[in-house]
Amino acid sequence: MNGVSLKLSLLAALVLWTTPSWGQFAPQSACQNGAAPRTSIYYVNGVTTTLDEARLNGGKLELEFLTRLPAMPAAIQSTCYLFFLNYNPTSGTVKDFTEAGQQRLGVNPSDMWRKLETFASLGPTMVSLLQGPMTQANQIDQAAVQRHAAAYRAQMTPPLCRRVVVVPHSQGNLYANAAYDAAVGPSPAPAPAAGALKIVGVATPDTLVKGNGRYQTSTGDLLIGAIDVLLPSTLDANTNWGTNILTSFIPLYSGGHSFMGYLSFDDSRSQILSDIQSSLSEVNAVTVCP
């Protein structure tokens, strides 16, 4: 078994093991009602995430949400939720992290790489992230930003007229913030209804969440912690994964930055789902199309 296959197998096993309710949630009754409102939930992946891994992460988000949905208020249960992936293409660790630096700071890739190298002393996880030759990254992927924005806008305008909640992870937060203004702006017509798009960030390296959105970053996230030392304006950590054995024995969870980890352990899992619930209450109150 090659490294990629082993990594995906371990991820799948962890999803099953950390979620005993797998397959036990009931289908959404609201989705059987053609007149029920629709809300779209998007997952946006972070750095060094393959398409298969992004799909697995998106499935984890859907699983956790649908498992908790029966305990949410009736007003939320009366809406049908559709899940989508807005993929942020990965080009390898070096290029992804330098691209994130360009997005966050407007610095050139070499400068960002040199600054990140100074944090290798944080431990083996950061060392492994920072190893490799310095390479020149391409410019920020504006095409991906526009593609994401167009997808959100299409959901919120006729003929679909749906609300949208975006759940980005890591560098995906930079893409979500960049896409927000283009998605809700006045051009091209028609403009979406105000408040129909909300962002719930996970492990964000940014200074804000557009649209007064919510976020959760773990105190044990070494990557965001390193960025915060370099850039003190980064949003403060406000959650954690609690005590668990996986962070000690499973390399995929080392560093505290994994989206799977954020959605597998409390307090972070409960707080992310709570943020999603609150955001859904807000967008579901919006009249999307007259």
CA distance 211 to 196: 10
Residues 6+ apart with CB under 8 A from 156: 162, 163, 164, 183, 192, 193, 196, 197, 288
Mean pLDDT of 246-272: 76
Quickly list DSSP for 154-208. HHHSTTT--EEEEEEBTTHHHHHHHHHHHHHSS-SSSPPPTT-EEEEEES--SS-
Check residue 10 and give its pLDDT: 44
CA distance 116 to 94: 11
Q: Please report, rounded to a whole number, the percentage of residues in the chain having pLDDT higher than 70.
A: 67
pLDDT band at 249 (very low <50, low <70, confident <90, very high): low
36: left (phi over 0), alpha (psi -120 to 50) or beta: beta
User: With contact defined as beta carbons under 8 Å apart, do 63 and 104 qualify?
Assistant: no
Residue 196 burial class via C-beta count within 10 angstroms: exposed 0-12, middle 13-18, buried 19 and up:
buried
Check residue 100 and give its pLDDT: 53
Candidate from 116-130, 155-169, 188-202 with smallest mean pLDDT:
116-130
- Which of the listed ranges 10-24, 129-143, 185-199, 200-214 does the model predict with the highest average pLDDT? 200-214
Q: Is 101 a residue whose pLDDT tops 60? A: no
For the chain, which residues make up each domain, given as ranges? 37-284
Mean pLDDT of 81-92: 81
Cis before 141 (ω within 30): no
User: With contact defined as beta carbons under 8 Å apart, do 75 and 281 qualify?
Assistant: yes
- As beta bridge partners, residue 168 has 44
Q: Is 66 a residue whose pLDDT tops 90? A: yes
Q: Is 72 a residue whose pLDDT tops 90? A: yes
Residue 88 burial class via C-beta count within 10 angstroms: exposed 0-12, middle 13-18, buried 19 and up:
buried
Quickly list DSSP for 69-100. GGGS-HHHHTSEEEEEEE------HHHHHHHH
CATH of domain 37-284: 3.40.50
Q: Which two tokens stand for residue 70?
A: 């029966």
